Amino acid sequence: MKKIEILEIAIKLLGLYSMIGVIDQIKEFSIILTVWFQTKNNPLMEIGFDQKPGLYVTLSGILLSLFISGILILKSNKIAKLICIDIINKDQTKIEINKKDTFDIAISIIGLIFIINSIPDLFVKIKNYKNFEQINLPTNDNIILTTYILKFILGIVVIIFSRKISSFILRIQKD
């Protein structure tokens, strides 16, 4: 087994993990849809704000998560090649994975997890922000939105600098 094949398997597993995360989003969507139908059919249950933006944002989050999961599962080979170009160029006839390569792969996967986890949560927080905005309630969702955006950016940075991070970890470990 080649190093790149190990990374491909990990990316496929991450895609499956992301697919399982859609279940929570579907639960959120069904709750919003139920409330929307109840308020539409019974005007006395009016809750003070329109549920449509929440429906749209939550549905968009579900579709985006499914799309990303599909890409991770179906295009894992291309993603692995994109993440670890320098590993591909080495002779890979044996399973000789050194510590640095193992850390590099693990750190890249952690970066992907940051990205995968931040996207659905970001959509939910946008929906909550819109709901609070409609009924003029104060919210601290600006800070929370910023946190998820930073988490997404951190995931990208971790993937880009995974080689340097793994070298740094190994250097610290030697001391």
Record the tokens describing residue 112, joined without a space.
Answer: 């992907």
| Alpha-carbon span 55 to 102, nearest angstrom | 42
Q: What is the DSSP annotation of 49-79?
A: S-SHHHHHHHHHHHHHHHHHHHHHHHSHHHH
Which pLDDT value is given to residue 94?
55
- Give residue-wise pLDDT tens across range 10-25: 888 788 788 877 877 7
Q: In the structure, what pLDDT confidence band is assigned to residue 82 with cuts at 50, 70 and 90?
A: confident
User: How much of the chain is in helix, strand and coil states, percent to nearest 5?
Assistant: 85, 0, 15
Measured from the Cβ of residue 38, the count of other Cβ atoms closer than 10 Å reads 12
Is the pLDDT confidence value at 144 over 90? no
- pTM of the entire structure? 0.59
Mean pLDDT of 98-111: 80
Contacts of 77 (CB under 8 A, 6+ apart): 8
Higher pLDDT, 138 or 146: 146
Q: Give the chain's radius of gyration (CA, Å).
A: 21
Residue 67 has pLDDT above 90, yes or no: yes
- pLDDT of amino acid 157: 92
Q: How confident is the model at residue 124 (pLDDT cuts 50, 70, 90)?
A: confident
Say which residue, 39 or 44, is predicted with more confidence.
39
> pLDDT value at position 100?
78
Mean pLDDT across 82-93: 61
**Sign of the CA dihedral running 128, 133, 135, 137:** positive
Residues above pLDDT 70, as percent of the chain: 80
Query: Residues 25, 61: contact at Cβ < 8 Å?
Result: yes
Higher pLDDT, 167 or 35: 167
Residue 69 confidence (pLDDT): 87
**Where exactly are the structural domains of the chain?**
3-174
